[in-house]
Amino acid sequence: MAASSSTGSATEPPGLETQWREIDNLNQQQLRAGDSWYLLDKRWYDQWKEYVHAGDQNSSSYPGKIDNTELYEDLDSYHLKERLSENEDFVLVPAEAWHKLLSWYDMMDNQPPLERKVVIGSLVYLSCRSLSVCMCVNLSHVYLCLIDAIHQKIRQHFNVSETAESRLWMRSTDTSSERLRNLNMTILDSCLSSGMVKYTHLPFTPLNSGHLLCYVTIWRNSADEDSYRGPPGVCGLTNLGNTCFMNSALQCLSNTPPLTEYFLRNSYLEELNFTNPLGMKGEIAEAYADVIKQMWSGRHYSVVPRVFKTKVGHFASQFLGYQQHDSQELLSFLLDGLHEDLNRVKKKEYIELRDADGRPDQEVAEEAWRNHLRRNDSVIVDTFHGLFKSTLVCPECNKVSVTFDPFCYLSVPLPVSKERVMEVFYVSLDPTAKPTQYRLIVPKAGRVIDLCTSLSQATGVPPNQMAVADVFNHRFYRIYQADESLSCILDRDDIFVYQLSSGCVDQDGEEVVMAIYMRERSHYRDYGSGSNNYGTSLFGHPLLMSVPRAQCTREDLYQLLLKRLSSSEPDRGSSTEEGQSACGSTDTNSQDATDGDQSAGVEPSGKEEEDEDEDEEEEEEAASCAQANKRLPGRLRNTEKQKKALFTIQAVNSNGTTERGMGEVDGVFSSYANCSISVANLFFMCMQKYIKHQSMDVPHQQITVQLQECIELFTTVETLEEENPWYCPTCKKHQLATKKLDLWSLPEVLIIHLKRFSYTKYSREKLDTIVEFPLRDLDFSGFLLKKTVNSTEPPCRYDLISVSNHFGGLRDGHYTSYARNKDNGQWYYFDDSKVTYAREEQIVTSAVYLLFYQRQDKIRQPTVPPPVPSSSQPENHVSSQTHDGMDGASSCVSMETD
């Protein structure tokens, strides 16, 4: 151990630039067995870096003596603080760098140097609690062992009891860590090949006087992967956390032959453009080249694209972190970044674009392409860029503007259906009718009245006698007005349509729309809150009733509800689906039917106890119930012994709860009321059962369109939106011109982006339309304006080479890809780390998002015979062991979510 105190023997330091160069070079060295590394306070180190970079020996940023005070809990015992984090609280520097800094700047009196020894096996363990090495774990085939093996080894070393809690963390950035919750992952698939694991042991123990903190770095064991030999390019990409969008795009580009061969031949090295102000200093191209070379080496089950992900986030902040993103957006950024990093044009000249002004299309197109190549010339342009013709027509002066613009991919729209399928529950005024579920066809851009009109055709009830509401958690979440847009209603909402006894009811009319909640009251008082109130809870679905204003009193409401509910007696011969409620759940509080001699409002024998504190109000309600009781069916009729009301009515707010001072005003209720009942009243419970209308048996037909239809839609005339007008040079103002795009020339590799995500003023949705596309012989001759002049012109037929898929909806989802290997011609399915054989008939699905086509004259025959999938391999497995599903959780060996 080095001397622990300052001796005042600091030597004269070299120049500031020399200091930085020497220390920075030493910090680049790798950990080696037997080496010592030292902890250095992060703030002191940052101050020193600022000082040497300033270039001024007399700068005020001079750091002074090395001071690790902030790393200690107290300066008497020099006990380290809990939960110190590397690169946040301290940095690790090698011994030679430490001794140089110590000789140049000295150290605060009495502070001990924080030395850490290094031992390397398959794993390296550094302890922040011990000044000597604690453990070295050697595991054979370390990449294939489970994280749990590391966890158990550490617990065994520290004799952690089985009941004690301990955790593993993975350092996700320099300043933060993520907990490793799934210990059944392999080291390979958990991205630990170049990461660091942090171990914490809880609770406090006499051994460490706090949390035990250690770091475990995974080291590459070359014998694991060097022994693997697989088909080049058949390699998975590890999901780093919601990075399936990136993996899918990378797999499609990796299986684009001209681009991949360009990087495998190292042709990019001669064309890296480090001075392009629009580029990324060649870093994106180099990072992409590293990934491609690993994937096509044939020596890896799966590649961890962590460095590439870091580079992408550095140059495109929208991809920082581990949120979900769009694979097409990542692809667009990557193609543009690769183009600028590999642009052969080192100095771009200014070129003024000219309008066609009546010139022939051929002349204008050739001029536009020449101008494009004067500023943009790269392998990306050679492979992916085409040309389309844009025609704008002013609606006022009929000025026609024609330009030819390059494109890198085609974003084609999907035919959007103007109709929408909605499922609703209809509640009739007829008390004997069960709530009925209907499946309706409504206009997608329609209003609530259109929904009522569609339902009216099935029920015969006029639309103006319907009220539409969203029911959630036994309450009215929202009651819709007739003129509201249907886009406010989501497919997952539980929509109820209630028949009203009269026509349209306005706020100042003769009738009031009353919301009735069903609330059950237990037999036991809630004394825990200090009150004598009974415990209550809402159940089932609420009711909407149109009530004459003159009948909004407690007694009149009781009679109306009694009449409405009296015929809701359980029908034991009914074909109603048992156990289903109109909200899609079973009411677990309902009890079995009582004996035939008992009424639904009478408690079983032995339980008829009069509560001494019964409110006088309930006694009055019992009297008002007497006459109505005679009109009830015999099975529900109150006996002479039963003097209590079948239910009580109470004013509530929209949440179904009471507030202090709430009640009827002058004996009249407002818009919300509670029907409070006992759990023994089963005739209320049976109202929650529903039946399905025959329309629910008709399967929903999924829309299928041809890819050619999407391309035709892309080339149709459209009017510009108000947010994106065109400036007419003749009218001298912005106009909502008509625009038409036509294809002029196509690239060697054509990327087609299906615009599945639809965003309008009225709705946001993902279109699950099945787009049927050919795997071979996609003919574009009918879409090109430029006709073949001679035999030297390239053909217009394309074959599919890869596909990017998106599963899920707007808020979450998962990306995968299909790709045809350029060497053996076999199709593979790439799902993050997992790679399986694929058949051509599997490729066309409703999840297809990006299509990669290669021109037939550029496709070469496979150089090696295709592999024969082994029937003994589950799911024709050809690569690593994991795959991920919907983004949002951690990666797992057998999980379907990532």
- Write out the catalytic residue numbers: 244, 814
The 8-class DSSP code of residue 56 comes to: -
Contacts of 64 by beta carbon, 8 Å cutoff, 6+ apart? 105
Residue 106, number of CB atoms within 10 A of its CB: 18
The Cβ-side half-sphere exposure at 367, using a 13 Å CA radius, reads: 15
Q: How crowded is the C-beta side of 9, counted as CA atoms within 13 Å?
A: 6
Beta-strand ranges (E) seen in 192-250 are 196-205, 210-218, 236-237
8 A C-beta contact, residue 378 and residue 338: yes
User: Cα separations (Å) of 116 from 72, 92, 130, 445, 716?
Assistant: 16, 9, 8, 68, 69
- Alpha carbon distance 506, 549 (integer Å): 12
Which of 848, 752, 839 lies closest to 798, judged by CA? 752
Structure tokens at 880: 């690593």
Q: How far apart are CA 1 and CA 708, in angstroms?
A: 75
Burial of residue 894, with CB atoms counted within 10 A of its CB: 0-12 exposed, 13-18 middle, 19 or more buried:
exposed
Q: Cα–Cα distance between 323 and 333 in angstroms, integer?
A: 17
Query: Which residues in 785-896 belong to E strands, given as ranges?
Result: 797-808, 813-820, 827-831, 834-837, 848-855
If DSSP codes are grouped into helix, strand and coil, which group holds residue 452?
helix
Return d(Cα 112, Cα 514) in angstroms, integer.
78
| Rg of the chain, C-alpha, whole Å | 37
Question: What is d(CA 193, CA 190) in angstroms, rounded to the nearest whole number?
Answer: 8
CA distances from 187 to 142, 172, 213, 247 (A): 7, 15, 20, 19
3-state helix vs strand vs coil in the chain, percent to 5: 25, 25, 50
Residues 6+ apart with CB under 8 A from 775: 799, 800, 840, 843
Which residues make Cβ contacts (< 8 Å) with residue 74, sequence separation at least 6?
Answer: none
Tokens representing 738? Answer: 């008509």
What value, to the nearest 5°, has the Cα angle with vertex 634 and ends 630 and 636?
A: 85
Torsion of CA 425, 426, 427, 432, to 10 degrees: -100
Q: Which amino acid makes up residue 231? A: P
Name the amino acid, one letter, at 712.
E
Phi, psi of 715 (to 5 degrees): -100, 10
Structure-block tokens of residue 262: 């360009």
Q: Give the Cβ contact number of residue 370 at 10 Å.
A: 10
**Does a cis peptide bond (omega within 30 degrees of 0) precede residue 203?**
yes
Residue 153 φ/ψ, nearest 5 degrees: -60, -45
CA distances from 594 to 540, 625, 635 (A): 20, 22, 10
Strand partners for 440? 422
> Taking a C-beta distance cutoff of 8 angstroms, is the pair 124, 34 a contact?
no
Q: Which residues pair with 424 in a beta bridge?
A: 438
**CA 282 → CA 266, 336, 590, 594, distances in Å?**
14, 12, 69, 80
Residue 820, both tokens: 């045809």
Q: Tokens at residue 321, please?
A: 């972190």
